[in-house]
């Protein structure tokens, strides 16, 4: 099991046009983006939704000569407002990963509306994860519509709904690449996105991403409607899971 840190200072806002997959600045004239972190120490009494640890996650203890100190536990927060219909905003981190010996990428996700703004409904926003050799030409992408946590919820299972859990099976992405190449043949333009949907999740491939040389990881929020939306996304425990004995 491997974990990729989700601290605020390790992730940067992606400022290019992710919606149209273009290497040009995104228009933020009517869209605000705030990247921060939320944790158990400062957020336990947070309003309108307190911060709770995801189900099954425990705080680490720091042992010293005289006492045991419980460590803070934090999630990455991505808050957007004025996000236009079908648009995306994301953060990214440069990595150096070899995924060949792992079977899955997993993560917890939480979505809530923004106070004093129009409430978001279930599946109006999606979590987007993109990873590969670069940002635009060689990558895999995973998209899952999210359920919203209503204001006033206090239990961890409602704050981190199991329906929002990310579970990207890497063999499914390998199969996607094989299927694309077989269906489209050598004449296919590999810089065009090829996507399939399964169980309300969408898997996309662009180019020839290499599992053994993953250099970028992106986490984003997408507006699935035709009107502008405001929402706050939390993500926690981005991790590589399992050992693929067939690799």
Taking residues 7-12, report their average pLDDT. 72
DSSP 19: T
Residues of the chain with pLDDT > 90, as a percent, come to 74
CA distances from 36 to 54, 150, 164, 209 (A): 18, 21, 20, 30
Question: From CA 61, how far away is CA 24, in angstroms rounded?
Answer: 45
pLDDT by residue (tens digit) across 47-64? 999 999 999 888 766 656
Helices within the chain (DSSP H only): 40-43, 156-159, 170-184
pLDDT in tens, 133-192: 999 999 999 999 999 999 999 999 999 999 999 999 999 999 999 999 888 876 667 888
The dihedrals phi and psi of 47, each to the nearest 5 degrees, come to: -115, 145
pLDDT at 86 over 80: yes
Q: Calculate mean pLDDT across residues 33-60.
A: 92
- Grade residue 216 by pLDDT with cuts at 50, 70 and 90: very high
pLDDT confidence bin for 81, thresholds 50/70/90: very high
pLDDT at 1 over 50: no
Look at 237 and 128; give whichever has higher pLDDT: 128
Give the mean pLDDT of 1-8: 52
Q: What is the dihedral of CA 235, 168, 19, 76, to 10 degrees?
A: 10
In terms of Cβ atoms closer than 10 Å to its own Cβ (0-12, 13-18, 19+), residue 187 is exposed
CB burial string 124-152: b at 16+ within 10 A, e below = bbbbbbbbbbebbebbbbbbbbbbbbeee
> Given CA atoms 12, 13, 16, 17 in this order, what sign does their dihedral have?
positive
The Cα 129–Cα 150 span in angstroms is: 24
Which band of pLDDT confidence, cut at 50, 70 and 90, is reported for residue 3?
Answer: low
């Amino acid at each position: 099991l491997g974990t990729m840190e989700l601290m605020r200072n390790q992730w940067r806002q992606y400022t290019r046009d992710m919606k149209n997959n273009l290497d040009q600045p995104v228009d933020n004239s009517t869209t605000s983006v705030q990247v921060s972190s939320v944790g158990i120490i400062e957020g336990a009494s947070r309003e309108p939704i307190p911060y709770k640890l995801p189900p099954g996650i425990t705080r680490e203890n720091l042992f010293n000569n005289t006492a045991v100190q419980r460590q803070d536990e934090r999630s990455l927060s991505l808050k957007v407002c004025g996000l236009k219909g079908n648009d995306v905003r994301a953060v990214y981190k440069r990595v150096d990963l070899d995924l060949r010996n792992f079977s899955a990428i997993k993560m917890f996700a939480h979505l809530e509306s923004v106070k004093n703004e129009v409430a978001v409904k279930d599946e109006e926003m999606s979590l987007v994860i993109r990873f590969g050799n670069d940002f635009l030409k060689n990558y895999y992408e995973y998209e899952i519509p999210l359920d919203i946590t209503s204001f006033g919820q206090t239990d961890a299972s409602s704050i981190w709904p199991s329906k929002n859990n990310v579970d990207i099976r890497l063999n499914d992405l390998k199969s996607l690449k094989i299927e694309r190449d077989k269906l489209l043949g050598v004449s296919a333009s590999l810089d065009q996105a090829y996507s399939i949907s399964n169980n309300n999740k969408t898997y996309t491939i662009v180019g020839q991403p290499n599992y053994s040389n993953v250099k970028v990881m992106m986490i984003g929020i997408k507006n699935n409607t035709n009107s502008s939306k405001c929402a706050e996304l939390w993500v926690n425990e981005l991790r590589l899971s399992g050992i693929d004995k067939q690799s």
